[in-house]
Amino acid sequence: MIHPSVVKLLELLAIDGPSTEEDATAAHVAKALRQLGVTEQNMWHDRAFEQSEYGGTTGNLIVRWPRRGDHRGAARLFMAHLDTVALCRGCRPRLDGFGDEKAARIVNDNPASALGADCRTGIGILLHLARFLAGCPAHPPVWMVFTVQEELGLIGARGLDLGALTPEPPVLGFNYDAPQANHVITAITGTTRFFIDLFGKAAHTGINPQDGISAAAAMAGALAELVQGGWHGAIVQAEGRGSANIGVLNGGAMTNTVMDKLTVRGEARSHDTAFRQQIIDRYRRTFERWAAATRNATGDCARMSWKLGPSYEAFALPADAPVVQMACEAMRELGIEPILKTDDGGMDNNRLNAKGLPCIALGSGQYQVHTTSEWVNVDDFLTACRLSERLAVA
């Protein structure tokens, strides 16, 4: 018999829900929670999408489990994000290796899409925890937050008002958004996104190409210089370490017209705030210089528009922080030896730690995320489910 939480995960994976389109996933989660007895008074959506640069139609789903019985533990928060990357549209999840929990995997039968394990596994763990809490005679106050638009820069977590989580607000948090079930993510890098618009001049490529100013040429020159200098991809410089990426290019409509506008979207990451700013400054200066150097026959040049997008700071919690110690002790009770890890991918933890709530990330069984090879380790997923029960009542 397939574990009920795995069945629920397969249902979640089959729901399309890219960033800004989380409504169906949120409705599925809310329905499951209502079936467990959660009342409308203890479950609501905030308006976090209203502060998003990307729009959207729904906010974070917030769930309150009031203190029950004589448990005197402090309030805690569990979270996962509702959205997936756009590549997950049309995934067809399938359980592979049924009958051997240690070897079982959830894979995707659509070779053109990602699976969405990031972060459907996290949602599945929180729904498992909800079923546990519904039948638990004594537990401390537990908050669950299902965030929106995490993949766009932790937008939902940015808009989350921790002050609205009353009474008994959480004092520590657990975010399920990492791979291995024995990992405790205590430090995560910071990220700054940037938006560049390059403006050239249109001209007919057969009649008067010399009058045109190619936005594409300006971009190509700038990016080639950054790549050759070691400032694109993994960055290892004397000044520090980090990464940078140009992830979106959009411009042009016809092959017979010099490209007069090109939008460029990128990001820089580093655990070192000052070095991340150095990466950003280099990108801005390089694109400015190449825009000025890209000219037509009469000497007119391209121009650049620059602005920063959603950004968040790095954090690092010490090994003796109460939230870290609680997770490690719970793992050892399950016979798992915890491994403290640093991560270079941003998570909602970044926002919560910045707001003053110590929050770590835990593994949920998601692997090779954001790719068409994405898969779920069922053993890791179920281990994470069991761990959530321990953390809820510790």
* Averaged pLDDT of the chain: 96
Domain end residue (candidates: 312, 338, 354)? 312
Question: What's the pTM value of the predicted model, to 2 decimals?
Answer: 0.88
Closest CA to 45 of 137, 160, 203, 195: 160
The residue among 312, 341, 357 that closes a domain is: 312
CA distances from 145 to 8, 59, 315, 356 (A): 18, 10, 20, 16
Q: Are residues 115 and 218 in the same domain?
A: no
Helices (H), 93-139: 117-134
For 188-246, the pLDDT digits (tens) are 999 999 999 999 999 999 999 999 999 999 999 999 999 999 999 999 999 999 999 99
113 Cβ contact list (under 8 Å, min separation 6): 87, 88, 89, 90, 91, 92, 372
Bridge pairing between strands 303-312 and 190-199:
antiparallel
pLDDT grade for 1, boundaries at 50, 70 and 90: confident
Query: Which amino acid is present at 227?
Result: V
Residue 97 pLDDT grade (very low, low, confident, very high; cuts 50, 70, 90): confident
Decide the pairing of beta strands 142-147 and 375-377. unpaired
Residue 119 and residue 223 in one domain: no
Sign of the Cα pseudo-torsion (165, 127, 54, 264, in order): positive
Which CATH number do you get for residue 234? 3.30.70.360
Instruction: State whether 308 and 335 are in the same domain.
Output: no
> Does one domain contain both 320 and 296?
no
Burial classification of residue 253, based on how many CB atoms lie within 10 Å of its CB (0-12 exposed, 13-18 middle, 19 or more buried): exposed
66/63 Cα distance (integer angstroms): 10
Residue 102 has pLDDT above 90, yes or no: no
Indicate whether 98 pLDDT > 80.
Answer: no
Q: What's the distance, CA 242 to chain centroid?
A: 18
- Going by C-alpha positions, the residue among 109, 50, 116, 45 that lies closest to residue 83 is 116
Domain membership of residue 351 as a residue range: 4-188+314-393
Residue 377, pLDDT > 90, answer: yes
Q: Which residue has the tokens 């719970």?
A: 330
346 and 331, same structural domain? Answer: yes
- Same domain? For 207 and 266 the reply is yes
In whole angstroms, what is the distance from residue 97 CA to residue 255 CA?
50
The angle at the Cα of 330, spanning 179 to 188, to the nearest 5 degrees, equals: 40
Query: Dihedral of CA 391/41/118/379: which sign?
Result: positive
Helix (H, G, I), strand (E, B) or coil at 199: strand
Q: Is 266 exposed, middle or buried (0-12, 13-18, 19+ CB in 10 A)?
A: buried
105-108: strand order across its sheet: 93-96, 105-108, 375-377, 366-367
Q: Are residues 203 and 274 in the same domain?
A: yes
Q: Do 198 and 269 belong to one domain?
A: yes
- The residue-averaged pLDDT of 375-388 equals 97
Matching residue, tokens 């110690």:
325
CB 300 within 8 A of CB 368: no
Domain boundary residue, one of 278, 312, 346: 312
Q: How many domains does the chain have?
A: 2
Instruction: Give the C-alpha separation, 212 to 277, whole Å.
Output: 34
Both tokens assigned to 159:
């808009």
Q: Letter for the amino acid at 349?
A: N
CA quadruple 180, 327, 122, 316: dihedral positive or negative? Answer: negative
- Reading the block at residue 217, the tokens are 């040429």
- What is the structure's pLDDT at 103? 84
Tell me: pLDDT of 385 over 90: yes
> Is there a single domain that holds both residue 280 and residue 166?
no
Structure confidence by residue, pLDDT tens digits, 117-154? 999 999 999 999 999 999 999 999 999 999 999 999 99
Which tokens hold the place of 290?
């190449």
Q: How far apart are CA 165 and CA 144, in angstroms?
A: 10
Same domain? 159 vs 71:
yes
Confirm if 89 and 16 have CB atoms less than 8 A apart.
Answer: yes
Question: In terms of pLDDT, which residue wins out, 198 or 101?
Answer: 198
User: pLDDT value at position 194?
Assistant: 97
Rounded average pLDDT over 244-254? 95
Question: What sections of 229-373 are H helices per DSSP?
Answer: 273-293, 322-333, 348-354
Q: Check whether residue 182 and residue 257 sit in a common domain.
A: no
Cα–Cα dist 32/43, whole Å: 12
- Helix H segments across 135-272? 155-159, 215-228
**Are 236 and 246 a contacting pair, CB within 8 Å?**
no
Residue 101's pLDDT is 66
Domain containing 318 — which CATH number?
A: 3.40.630.10
pLDDT digits (tens, 9 = 90+) for 60-85: 999 999 999 999 999 999 999 999 99
Residues 34 and 97 both lie in one domain: yes
pLDDT in tens, 162-179: 999 999 999 999 999 999
